[in-house]
Structure 1
Amino acid sequence: MNISALLTSAGINITICVVLLSLYSILRKQPSLVNVYFGQRLAQVQSKRHDLFCFDRLVPSASWILKACETSEEEIFSAGGLDAVVFLRMLVFSIRIFSIAAIICIFLVLPLNYFGQEMQHKQIPSESLDVFTIGNVKLGSRWLWAHCLALYVISFCACILLYTEYKSITKKRLAYVTGSPLNPSQFTVLVRAIPWSSGESYSDSVRKFFSNYYASSYLSHQMVYQSGTVQKLMNDAEKIYRMLKSAPMEQHCGLSLMRCGLCGGTAQPFKVLSSEPESANGRSDYADSDLREKECAAALIFFRTRYAALVASQALQSPNPMLWVTDLAPEPKDIYWTNLCVSYRLLWIRRTATLLASVLFMIFYLVPVTIVQSIAHLDKLQKIFPFLRGISERKFLIQLITGYLPSVILMLFLYIVPPLMMLFSTLEGSISRSGRKRSACIKILYFLIWNVFFAQIFTGTAIDRVGKISSAKDIPNQLARAVPSAATFFMTYVLTSGWASLSCELVQPFALLCHLFERFVLRNKDDPSCGTYTFPYHTEVSRVLLFVLLGFTFSILAPLMLPFLLVYFLLAYLVYRNQILNVYITKYQTGGLYWPVVHKTTIFSLVLTQIIALGVFGLKESTVASSFTIPLIICTLLFNEYCRRRFQPVFTSFPAQVLIEMDWQDQQCGRMEEIHQQLRSAYYQFTSISSKQCKAAHPSHCESEDGDGVQDLEDKAPGEKSTIVQETQVERLHLEIEELNVK
């Protein structure tokens, strides 16, 4: 590939980015699309306002960029939680380290690569990209010490920045733990693999076991039940309720006769069920409907103190490790109830099966990767297959095929990976939604590193060998050029999968199409479901880390890639800040557990870069550069080991000292009794239309939280006060959005 093909790909992607960014700045100003582009700010408040047409709505503006830059980290934390802060800190780290790498490599390494051999250079547009890589440096060149020096500077700066970020995020995680004193998950332990006894139920076994061995700290417990089809019906009922709750009660019938009972029903023929479980109300709301089909061998155990729950979760409860297995419970909104009923003895079988399925899928995926790499090496295929030589007569077609088409095809194939990996993570038996997403993130990351990075290099090397190898002596030279020559493909991949995907992220095409379908096809003018997505950490973290790997690997081998990556990270920082503030809703989070994944992947990228550089220096017959690279690898591994022992334990368990101090403070302030009462109603397996949801939608319709939990809505009509309050909230939100768009 030459420079003109790269510029063709860059021109196409820049045009796409400009068009999509301009389209986004127009679409976000339309009042009818508020639910799509301001779902986080509107939350569950439904808009009723219809403004008159204004010409300013059709003019692109950059107000969202200014707002994204001005937003503080505290606002990011309040909008997206600690995971959002960690994600943005990852982007800040990438911007800093690759700014340093770009300055060093562009001004020091790139000229040495370009003039590495005595040759007649062509004009820049016709120049091959290979002359800008380390492959153009002649054997035994004395200038390879500059590449080694640049590698040292980049590695040391990366370690310093990693240590600073790890230390800062560790403090933020501890503040996150202490900043939520009423978090019920800190008092709750999930126990699975409860042994079956013919003489008593699972509930009796749990009560007997923990009353005997944790008599001073055991508070109560709640069994986990298999809900089956009934749970699905209740989830559907909740979705229907959310669609109806924002509209006036009289509109659901269409005629006012329904309020008089002449059409065979009351004004509101459904009841609102309490979210309080049986232990709190003294009776079950579901006793008559037989919702609890069967007890599972799992239960949630509530303890009197946080420290007692921590000890119980980490202790081996039985001589048989496969019985009475305990873990700290996830937060109530984060818990994944379906997997709690999976037999603990089957989990290892599930994990083995998903591992084998993931490996087979990665192997099967080599087929499209090989096809993509073949298109990228069209000039080599023409020598193998002579019938392709006719294409070379059309210069622009060659530039389009080799510079743009391969990365587009690979990106389209990659769209099937995230949902499949999410399915594998679900089958593994994760007990939390955030844990399932984090597991999917790791799987996608492994997949991208192998199938996008290594597979592209290996398949490209195979094509080169078929076309050029004439003797065994040529094999080392071909391997020396394998990684640097792959930079030509990855530059276009950064443009397509990086720049263009960020523009699509802003426009939200899927949410936009869903909204238009609901509005114009289904004639649903008030669609509260659009714009209520959670942040896709499993796809975005893995994608950013792949670009980090590419940045480190090609920093000294092909420095021309660094400006493209730096633009991607800067654009990603602005786009994701805007999306976290305006679009995505935080329903659950891991509490910063993505940072250890970021740290380990960055260390892997550094070590891989150093190993590849060591091999290239050896093939280039530079003994000095090779000798100095070995201590750098050892120092990087020692740094990783120090960070693993210094910071990682905080992310795997809660510090006992912190939890004990929190328990003391709650006991001295008299809050412990209040916490114990909230524990009884925090975890509720059966999703229902709760009284709190009804009160948020129509305050005048619902009873107080001190009632029995069931309230008929037959004779209640929406009061003027609640309507005025809701309209005032909507007006205030519209004013805030207008301030964001028009400044």
Structure 2
Amino acid sequence: MNLAALLTSAGINIALCVVLFSLYSILRKQPSNVNVYFGRRVASRRRIRLDLGLERFVPSPSWILKAWETTEDELVAIGGLDAVVFVRILVFSIRVFSVAAIICAVLVLPVNYYGQEMEHKKIPLESLEVFTIENVKEGSKWLWAHCLALHIITCAACSLLYFEFKSITNMRLFHIIGSPPKPSHFAILVRAIPWCPEECYSATLKKFFSYYHITNYLSHQMVYKSGTVQKLKDEAEHISNVMKSNSLVETCKSSFKGCCFCGGPTNFKILSKDIYGIHGKAGYSDMHLKARKKECAAAFVFFRTRYGALTAAQILQTSNPMLWVTDPAPEPQDVYWSNLCIPYRQLWFRRIAILVASMAFVLVFLIPVTFVQGLTQLDQLQQMFPFLTGILQKQFVSELVTGYLPSVILVLFLYAVPPVMMLFSKVEGPISRSGRKKSACCKVLYFYIWNVFFVNVLTGSVLRQLTFFSSVRELPTQLAKAVPAQATFFMTYVLSSGWATLACELMQFFPLFCNLLSRFILRLKDDSQNGTLTFPYHTEVPRILLFVFLGFTCSSLAPLILPFLLVYFFLAYLVYKNQFLNVYITKYDSGGRYWPIVHNTTVFSLVFTQVIALGVFGIKRSTVASGFTIPLIICTLLFHEYCRQRFLPVFKNSSAQMLIDMDRKDEHSGNMEEIYEQLHSAYCQFIVPSQCPSECSSHHEEKDPEKLETGNEPEQTNGSWAKQSPGEII
């Protein structure tokens, strides 16, 4: 591939971005698109001012200025700590790759370009290999420039990583201390409760914790079977009991007659109203509660202090680690209720099954990756399809096929990865929605790095040299040869998967299409389903980290990729801040737990870059550069271990000192009794409060049936974490 093919791809993507960005600035001003581009503000019932004059049909950069001026404090209030961490990833990337771009432009790029004694063509006609380390001849004394650039980039990256890790750790601690009392600090999740034939799970649990945690145990809330199948079974039993009620015989007959002979669908609504109208009657209420009280071997256990809950969550309850399994409780809005009833002994089998399924999915994905790499090899493509020889010999067509189509096709195939990985993470059995999304984030990241980088590099090497797998020991050497050769493909991939994806993210094509369909074709005016998008961390974090990985790997080998990456990170900084401000709703927050993933991936990228550079220096026969690279690898690993010991424990557990201080503060202020009263309503599994009974447990207060009939929710006062309204529950 020559530079003209890369510029063709860049031109197409630049034109696409300009058109879509301009179109977005117009569409966001239209009143009919408020639910698409201001979903968060609509959901929070905030007033939105729209200019109804002719200016709403003219593109404007007002959204860019607003996104640029948004501070971190505003971002925390809007999107939580996870949103700040996500933006910090982009800021870190901009800083480190700015340093890399300057160093490589001064040291590396001139050495690569003049590495061979050759007659250069005009710049647009130059092959991209001329700008990579492949153009440097063996034994060149100028390879010290690459080694020096690698040292500077590594030192800059480690320094920025350290300060970012320290800053985000402090933000997490402040987030825990400065927030109002949270129910998760006083609660733990207990699973694998042993079955006793003489009594129910609730009584067994109460006996155990009343005896072994007598000073700290407060109460508990059982988990009941839920999910689609269980709901269908409950509703079927519910309707069956209602049909047997003498008070509804005539109503049912008239309703079925109306349905059969008059074709009136509204009679089902009448029947539904009659069914729920008797909800407060004692006989029906008992039947309904019995249908819903199907206890699982899991429960939320509440403690009098935060320190008591922390101690109970971290220690083994019995000598058998497969019984009475305790974990810190997630926040109420973060609980993934349908997975709490999964038998604990079944989880290991699910994880093994998902591991096998993930490996199978990776193997299946080799087919499109191999096809994409075939498009980059124009000569082999002509041999496989001789009838395309005439078309492929045209300059524009060859530039389009080699410079644009491969990355676009790969991006289209990769759109299927995040939904599949989210499904895999769900089957694994996480207890929280944030945990499910974090698990899917790791899976997508591993998939991207393996399939986009390693498989493309190895497949490209196979297409060039069929004896690649002749010796496994030569794998580092082969990678050192293949990575610079495939760097040109990664440049086009950044353009297609980076710039164009940001424009599509800003446009929100699918919600826009659904909005147009519902408003102008179906003529629907109900917007209750709009504005419910949460930020797809499992998709966007892996994409950014993949670009970070590609940037570090190619920085000293093929530095032409750095300007394209810098443009991407800067655009992403503006686009994603705008989306946090206007589009996405924050329903749960992991407290910045994505940053350790970022740190580990960055360190892995640095070490892998150093290993590849070591292999390249060995191929180029530069003993001096190789000798200085080995200590750099050791120092990077030591830095990583120090950060793991210094900062990582804060993201896994809360400190006893901090929780005890918070307990004493609440005790002195007299807030403990109010906190205890709100615990049960916080972890109510079902929406209607009357559906939160506790069978076989005497620790719950009896509630007046008349109050249960109203379905009123606990009042939220002083920013406390009482049960939220049904519209805010996931």
Is this a same-fold pair by TM over 0.5?
yes
In the alignment, is the contact (CA less than 8 A) between 1:272 and 1:711 conserved in 2?
A: no
Structure 1's 301 and 417: CA in aligned 2 closer, same or farther, altered over 3 A?
same
Aligned residue for 2:710, secondary structure, equals coil
Confirm whether residue 413 of structure 1 aligns to residue 396 of structure 2: no
In the alignment, is the contact (CA less than 8 A) between 2:476 and 2:615 conserved in 1?
A: no
Compute the RMSD of aligned alpha carbons: 3.2
| Partner Cα separation in structure 1 for residue 203 and residue 132 of structure 2 | 70
Structure 1's 381 and 50: CA in aligned 2 closer, same or farther, altered over 3 A?
closer
Deviations 1:685-724 (A, max 9, x none): 1134999xxxxxxxxxxxxx998243399xxxxxxxxxxx
Tell me the residue number matched to 2:599.
599
Deviations 1:57-97 (A, max 9, x none): 11000000000011111000000000000000010000000
Aligned residue for 1:140, secondary structure, equals coil
Amino acid corresponding to residue 312 of structure 2 in structure 1:
A
Tell me the residue number matched to 1:544.
544
Tell me the residue number matched to 2:717.
none
Report the TM-score, using the length of structure 1 for normalisation: 0.85
Structure-to-structure mapping, 1:127-166, within 5 angstroms: 127-166=126-165
Runs of 4+ in structure 1 over 6 Å off: 49-52, 233-236, 262-274, 282-286, 474-478
Structure-to-structure mapping, 1:496-511, within 5 angstroms: 496-511=496-511
| Partner Cα separation in structure 1 for residue 101 and residue 234 of structure 2 | 52
Amino acid corresponding to residue 648 of structure 2 in structure 1:
Q
Aligned residue for 1:322, secondary structure, equals coil
Tell me the residue number matched to 2:252.
none
Tell me the residue number matched to 2:567.
567
Shift of 1:41: 1.5
Tell me the residue number matched to 2:525.
525
Confirm whether residue 40 of structure 1 aligns to residue 37 of structure 2: no
Tell me the residue number matched to 2:344.
344
Structure 1's 345 and 164: CA in aligned 2 closer, same or farther, altered over 3 A?
same
| Partner Cα separation in structure 1 for residue 186 and residue 387 of structure 2 | 71
Aligned residue for 1:191, secondary structure, equals strand
Shift of 1:465: 1.1
In the alignment, is the contact (CA less than 8 A) between 1:335 and 1:433 conserved in 2?
A: yes
Aligned residue for 1:296, secondary structure, equals strand
Tell me the residue number matched to 1:62.
61
Q: Which runs of 5+ in 2 are unaligned?
A: 236-266, 692-703, 713-730
| Partner Cα separation in structure 1 for residue 629 and residue 602 of structure 2 | 18
Structure-to-structure mapping, 1:645-656, within 5 angstroms: 645-656=645-656
Shift of 1:488: 0.8
Aligned residue for 2:709, secondary structure, equals coil
| Partner Cα separation in structure 1 for residue 711 and residue 221 of structure 2 | 28
| Partner Cα separation in structure 1 for residue 711 and residue 170 of structure 2 | 49
Amino acid corresponding to residue 656 of structure 1 in structure 2:
A
Tell me the residue number matched to 1:358.
358
In the alignment, is the contact (CA less than 8 A) between 1:223 and 1:295 conserved in 2?
A: yes
Aligned residue for 2:296, secondary structure, equals strand
Structure 1's 283 and 103: CA in aligned 2 closer, same or farther, altered over 3 A?
farther
Shift of 1:480: 4.2
Structure-to-structure mapping, 1:621-640, within 5 angstroms: 621-640=621-640
Tell me the residue number matched to 1:664.
664
Deviations 1:266-290 (A, max 9, x none): 998897999xxx9xxx999776354
Tell me the residue number matched to 2:100.
101
Structure-to-structure mapping, 1:470-481, within 5 angstroms: 480-481=480-481
Tell me the residue number matched to 2:553.
553
In the alignment, is the contact (CA less than 8 A) between 1:234 and 1:688 conserved in 2?
A: no
Aligned residue for 2:116, secondary structure, equals coil
Amino acid corresponding to residue 224 of structure 2 in structure 1:
Y
Shift of 1:412: 0.6
Structure 1's 618 and 264: CA in aligned 2 closer, same or farther, altered over 3 A?
closer
| Partner Cα separation in structure 1 for residue 141 and residue 626 of structure 2 | 13
In the alignment, is the contact (CA less than 8 A) between 2:479 and 2:612 conserved in 1?
A: no
Structure 1's 272 and 356: CA in aligned 2 closer, same or farther, altered over 3 A?
farther
Amino acid corresponding to residue 673 of structure 1 in structure 2:
E
Amino acid corresponding to residue 181 of structure 1 in structure 2:
P
Aligned residue for 1:430, secondary structure, equals coil
| Partner Cα separation in structure 1 for residue 451 and residue 478 of structure 2 | 21
In the alignment, is the contact (CA less than 8 A) between 1:444 and 1:539 conserved in 2?
A: yes
| Partner Cα separation in structure 2 for residue 427 and residue 115 of structure 1 | 55
Deviations 1:431-487 (A, max 9, x none): 000000000000000000100000000001111115999xxxx99997543101111
| Partner Cα separation in structure 2 for residue 268 and residue 29 of structure 1 | 41
Structure-to-structure mapping, 1:64-463, within 5 angstroms: 64-229=63-228, 232=231, 288=288, 290-382=290-382, 388-463=388-463
Tell me the residue number matched to 2:723.
none
Shift of 1:179: 1.8
Confirm whether residue 675 of structure 1 aligns to residue 687 of structure 2: no
In the alignment, is the contact (CA less than 8 A) between 2:322 and 2:345 conserved in 1?
A: yes
| Partner Cα separation in structure 2 for residue 608 and residue 273 of structure 1 | 67
Aligned residue for 1:525, secondary structure, equals coil
Amino acid corresponding to residue 453 of structure 1 in structure 2:
F
In the alignment, is the contact (CA less than 8 A) between 2:535 and 2:584 conserved in 1?
A: yes
Aligned residue for 1:333, secondary structure, equals helix
Q: What is the aligned-residue identity percentage? A: 63
In the alignment, is the contact (CA less than 8 A) between 1:31 and 1:50 conserved in 2?
A: no
Aligned residue for 2:219, secondary structure, equals strand
Of 113-122 and 265-274, deviating more is: 265-274
Report the TM-score, using the length of structure 2 for normalisation: 0.86
Structure 1's 138 and 580: CA in aligned 2 closer, same or farther, altered over 3 A?
same
Tell me the residue number matched to 1:18.
18
In the alignment, is the contact (CA less than 8 A) between 2:29 and 2:50 conserved in 1?
A: no
Deviations 1:241-270 (A, max 9, x none): xxxxxxxxxxxxxxxxxxxxx999799889
Amino acid corresponding to residue 10 of structure 1 in structure 2:
A
In the alignment, is the contact (CA less than 8 A) between 1:80 and 1:585 conserved in 2?
A: yes
Shift of 1:55: 1.5
| Partner Cα separation in structure 1 for residue 468 and residue 206 of structure 2 | 74
Deviations 1:157-179 (A, max 9, x none): 00000000000000010011112
Shift of 1:388: 4.8
Tell me the residue number matched to 2:464.
464
Deviations 1:178-216 (A, max 9, x none): 122320011001000001111111001000000000011
Shift of 1:35: 1.0
In the alignment, is the contact (CA less than 8 A) between 1:194 and 1:324 conserved in 2?
A: yes
Aligned residue for 1:143, secondary structure, equals helix
Shift of 1:222: 0.7
Amino acid corresponding to residue 111 of structure 2 in structure 1:
L
Tell me the residue number matched to 2:709.
710
Amino acid corresponding to residue 181 of structure 2 in structure 1:
L
Tell me the residue number matched to 2:485.
485
Shift of 1:31: 1.1
Amino acid corresponding to residue 413 of structure 1 in structure 2:
F
| Partner Cα separation in structure 2 for residue 367 and residue 310 of structure 1 | 48
Aligned length: 666
Tell me the residue number matched to 1:577.
577
Aligned residue for 2:292, secondary structure, equals coil
| Partner Cα separation in structure 2 for residue 152 and residue 283 of structure 1 | 77
Structure 1's 522 and 233: CA in aligned 2 closer, same or farther, altered over 3 A?
farther
Aligned residue for 1:197, secondary structure, equals coil
In the alignment, is the contact (CA less than 8 A) between 1:551 and 1:562 conserved in 2?
A: yes
Aligned residue for 1:302, secondary structure, equals strand
| Partner Cα separation in structure 2 for residue 235 and residue 440 of structure 1 | 31
Tell me the residue number matched to 1:731.
none
Q: Which runs of 5+ in 1 are unaligned?
A: 237-261, 692-704, 714-743
Aligned residue for 1:621, secondary structure, equals coil
In the alignment, is the contact (CA less than 8 A) between 1:441 and 1:537 conserved in 2?
A: yes
| Partner Cα separation in structure 2 for residue 94 and residue 677 of structure 1 | 46
